[in-house]
Structure 1
Amino acid sequence: MPLPILALAIASFCIGTTEFVIMGLLPEVAADLGVSIPSAGLLVTGYALGVVFGAPVIAVATAHMPRKPVLVGLAMLFVVGNLLCAIAPNYWMLMAARVFTAFGHGAFFGIGSVVAASLVPRNKRASAIALMFAGLTLSNILGVPGGTALGEAYGWRATFVAVVGIGLVSVAAIAWLVPAGIAQPSGGGLLGEVRVLGKLQVWLAMLISALASASLFAVFTYIKPYLTDVSGLSTATVTWVLLLFGGGMTIGNIIGGRLADWKLMPTVIGTLLMLALLLVGFAEFGAVAAVAVFIVFLWGLLVFVIVPPLQIRVVEAASEAPNLAATLNQGAFNIGNAAGAWVGGVALSLGVSYANLPLVGAALALLAVAVAVMSQTLDRQLLVTHAAQ
């Protein structure tokens, strides 16, 4: 792994741990701050909303600035944010600290993906983005369980202090290893960044990202009751199955980068089709415990095969000024997270059983396929038009 991308991966590990570790600490946070567990769960929602609203604000505010100082500043924002989380005296201060921290999330991954892509030859750009995102996937395997165990042993605040330490390492790594002058803003500045948002292909790419994410969270939000009630697994076993899901994510991330460098849109369309089929299989055979466990692993793999291609798709569609669009794509993923969880909840409230909930995810994946096919068709029409001129 090129050292500058390693620096970005360390930061993405820190950010991923920050985002997800709170889920394993909800009982401890709730007991310490005197709130209910559902209220503590809103700390997850607050972070997601911070990502969605913070991404465009930070991207616009930094559109004219050199990329390296921006990345250092965003990594430092996570250090300060996690420190504020660690010392928050009450629930609302912790909520404010979580939202503040989340403001840098989308911008870091958006700008970081543009920087990572600029560090390698054109035919390796998706793989470079995948390497940066490897830190995010590894956070689900190492950071979240490790942070949860630390919080259970020494209190939830100790987890955030540990993340502060990792964040400081990432700040130092970016400052030392990422070259100055890399992936500088376009000459058009903020106006150029906004202008590319007029491109249909940029919006189609972000819509695919949102639908793919919604397909995941419509089911994954309720994966614990699915695995216990439908597949018959114990609560302790579910923890290990979720680690297996994280392992699949890590493998899929690397595969997705390589496939996207080879055939970008066929990778997107083919993977989404396989996701839809897999979720149909989950609904059909999820009651068999061994099959369910294997499907969860494949699900994690396929879910992250799609991430590097979708990020590089946005970067390419907005190639003249990609920073704002790449950042907004991270917001699109998080909109999909929230929308998917909501759609899954509505389906359950309307009487859809846990056993059939994967069919909802499959339907959303097929919608993403339809949008991806439309996008590829537009590409081909454009090539034909250029050839005729």
Structure 2
Amino acid sequence: MPIALYALTAGAFGIGVTEFVIMGLLIEVGGDLGVSISAAGLLISGYALGVVAGAPIMTIATARWPRKTVLLILMAIFTVGNLACALAPNYWSLMASRVLTAFAHGTFFGVGSVVATTLVAPDKKASAVAIMFTGLTVANILGVPFGTWLGQAYGWRSTFGAVTVVGVAAFAIIALFVPKDHDAPAPSNLKHDLAVLARPQVLMGLLTTVLSWVGVFCVFTYIAPILTRLAGFSDAAVSPILLVFGGGLVVGNLVAGKLADRWLLPTLLGTLMALVAILVLMTFAVHNQVAVVIFVALLGAAAFATVPPLQIWVLRKADGAGQSLASSFNIAAFNLGNAIGAWLGGYVIAGGPGLGQLPWIAALAPLAALALALYAIRFDRLRGEAPAAAD
């Protein structure tokens, strides 16, 4: 694989750290800024909503620009945003800085996915996307635990300072190794680009993404209480177990990328079925320490195994000038699923069947995603379109 792909991975790593590291620093942030832990937790929601809002805005605003230039601008926004987080004097300035940083997220992965597919042969596109997204998985395995330790040892601001340095390094690596666009940027017509979002196949792809990740985050958001209250682990055991989850992310992402290169639709359907099955069976494993650790790893693998086929599926359905916009919207769809899943999980715990029933209820969302994907494939066949390969 070309080194330019790993330059994109470096950017993905930095973005992954800044998105998730705050989860381990809520107590430190809340104590320093004089807000409750629940208020500090809204910094996570604010980031997710910033991704959802920023993806279409930034993609439309930069549609006429060369993709390498766009990636560099996004990394500059990311770097400045993290520096602002490190220097934030109060809660609301930190919230604003988090939202600013999030504006780079969706478009970076959207445009980055398109760039990644141009760097490799047609039969390697899903693997290329998977390699870029490996930055997110490595961020979860190495970056987030290190950032959490750094913030707890030297103050949460030091973590955002370190991520700022990562942003500078990623900017330099992208500038050096990502090639300039081979062709001049295609003329962009906003009305034409937005029309891609009116295609039923694209909308079904985006909704499939949302539903699949509602299920993932419905459980993952509350994985710590599942491990401590139901399985009986100590608080200190949670971080090592999350490393197991991160290992699952890496394996699922890379394996699914390889499979999706050859069999896109079977891989897509298979990963959704696996996600449903794992969530249902996890319901019966949450009270057994060995079993629940196994299912945490399987959940990580199944979760990120959906990413390459979903991203490539949406790119294919949006073939043409609207690809970057559709790709960015799909990243926003992942984050919308995250936000809805976290809310749904909280509702189930506080006002529904309770924590122990969370996994099987979460499984209903990817089950709906599976049904929608099957309908979308049938929709293509009825319209006489090749359903991407028996792909």
Task: State the alpha-carbon separation in 2 of the partners of residues 335 and 353 from structure 1.
Answer: 23
Match of 2:348 in 1: 347
Q: Structure 1 residue 186: deviation in Å?
A: 3.5
Task: State the alpha-carbon separation in 2 of the partners of residues 355 and 177 from structure 1.
Answer: 48
Q: Which amino acid aligns with 2:66?
A: P
Moved more, 6-15 or 235-244: 235-244
Task: State the alpha-carbon separation in 2 of the partners of residues 344 and 66 from structure 1.
Answer: 41
Moved more, 81-90 or 261-270: 261-270
1:92-142: per-residue Cα shift (whole Å, max 9, x none)?
111110011101100000000000011111111010000000001100011
3-state SS of the aligned residue for 1:141?
A: helix
Matched, 1:318 2:318: yes
Q: Which amino acid aligns with 2:215?
A: S
1:348-373: per-residue Cα shift (whole Å, max 9, x none)?
23331211110111111110100110
Q: Structure 1 residue 293: deviation in Å?
A: 0.4
Matches within 5 A, 1:1-16: 1-16=1-16
Q: Structure 1 residue 143: deviation in Å?
A: 0.6
Give the conservation status (yes or no) of the 8 Å contact 2:380–2:386.
no
Q: Which amino acid aligns with 1:16?
A: G
Match of 2:92 in 1: 92
Give the conservation status (yes or no) of the 8 Å contact 1:130–1:257.
yes
Matched, 1:177 2:213: no
Match of 2:378 in 1: 377
Moved more, 262-271 or 176-185: 176-185
Task: State the alpha-carbon separation in 1 of the partners of residues 184 and 377 from structure 2.
Answer: 29
1:178-230: per-residue Cα shift (whole Å, max 9, x none)?
11114764344433321211211111111111001101111111111111122
Q: Structure 1 residue 263: deviation in Å?
A: 1.1
Match of 1:22 in 2: 22
Match of 2:284 in 1: 284
Cα 1:385/1:30, change in 2 over 3 Å: closer
Task: State the alpha-carbon separation in 1 of the partners of residues 332 and 234 from structure 2.
Answer: 35
Give the conservation status (yes or no) of the 8 Å contact 2:197–2:203.
yes
Give the conservation status (yes or no) of the 8 Å contact 1:230–1:355.
yes
Match of 1:147 in 2: 147
Give the conservation status (yes or no) of the 8 Å contact 1:186–1:320.
no
Match of 2:335 in 1: 334
Moved more, 340-349 or 125-134: 340-349
Match of 2:46 in 1: 46
Give the conservation status (yes or no) of the 8 Å contact 1:208–1:372.
yes
Total equivalences in the alignment:
386
Task: State the alpha-carbon separation in 2 of the partners of residues 182 and 45 from structure 1.
Answer: 38
Matches within 5 A, 1:232-247: 232-247=232-247
Task: State the alpha-carbon separation in 1 of the partners of residues 376 and 102 from structure 2.
Answer: 31
Question: Identity rate of aligned residues, in percent?
Answer: 50
3-state SS of the aligned residue for 1:383?
A: coil
Task: State the alpha-carbon separation in 2 of the partners of residues 243 and 182 from structure 1.
Answer: 40
Cα 1:385/1:364, change in 2 over 3 Å: closer
Q: Structure 1 residue 280: deviation in Å?
A: 1.2
Match of 1:269 in 2: 269
Task: State the alpha-carbon separation in 2 of the partners of residues 377 and 191 from structure 1.
Answer: 28
Task: State the alpha-carbon separation in 2 of the partners of residues 165 and 350 from structure 1.
Answer: 43
Task: State the alpha-carbon separation in 2 of the partners of residues 32 and 9 from structure 1.
Answer: 33
3-state SS of the aligned residue for 2:377?
A: helix
Q: Which runs of 4+ in 1 moved over 6 A?
A: none
Match of 1:356 in 2: 357
Give the conservation status (yes or no) of the 8 Å contact 1:348–1:357.
yes
Cα 1:294/1:183, change in 2 over 3 Å: farther
Q: Structure 1 residue 86: deviation in Å?
A: 0.6
Task: State the alpha-carbon separation in 2 of the partners of residues 188 and 150 from structure 1.
Answer: 44
Give the conservation status (yes or no) of the 8 Å contact 2:348–2:355.
no
Normalised to the residue count of structure 2, the TM-score between the two structures is 0.96
Moved more, 225-234 or 324-333: 225-234
Match of 1:34 in 2: 34
Q: Structure 1 residue 376: deviation in Å?
A: 1.2
Match of 1:218 in 2: 218
Task: State the alpha-carbon separation in 1 of the partners of residues 373 and 385 from structure 2.
Answer: 19
3-state SS of the aligned residue for 1:70?
A: helix
Matched, 1:159 2:153: no
Give the conservation status (yes or no) of the 8 Å contact 1:118–1:183.
no
Task: State the alpha-carbon separation in 1 of the partners of residues 193 and 291 from structure 2.
Answer: 47
Q: Which runs of 5+ in 1 are unaligned?
A: none
Q: Which amino acid aligns with 1:306?
A: T
Task: State the alpha-carbon separation in 2 of the partners of residues 183 and 124 from structure 1.
Answer: 21
Q: Structure 1 residue 231: deviation in Å?
A: 1.4
Cα 1:41/1:385, change in 2 over 3 Å: closer
Moved more, 204-213 or 173-182: 173-182
Moved more, 351-360 or 97-106: 351-360
Q: Structure 1 residue 84: deviation in Å?
A: 0.4
Matched, 1:205 2:205: yes
Task: State the alpha-carbon separation in 2 of the partners of residues 251 and 333 from structure 1.
Answer: 19
Q: CA RMSD in A?
A: 1.5
Give the conservation status (yes or no) of the 8 Å contact 2:285–2:295.
no
Task: State the alpha-carbon separation in 2 of the partners of residues 194 and 337 from structure 1.
Answer: 24
Match of 2:196 in 1: 196
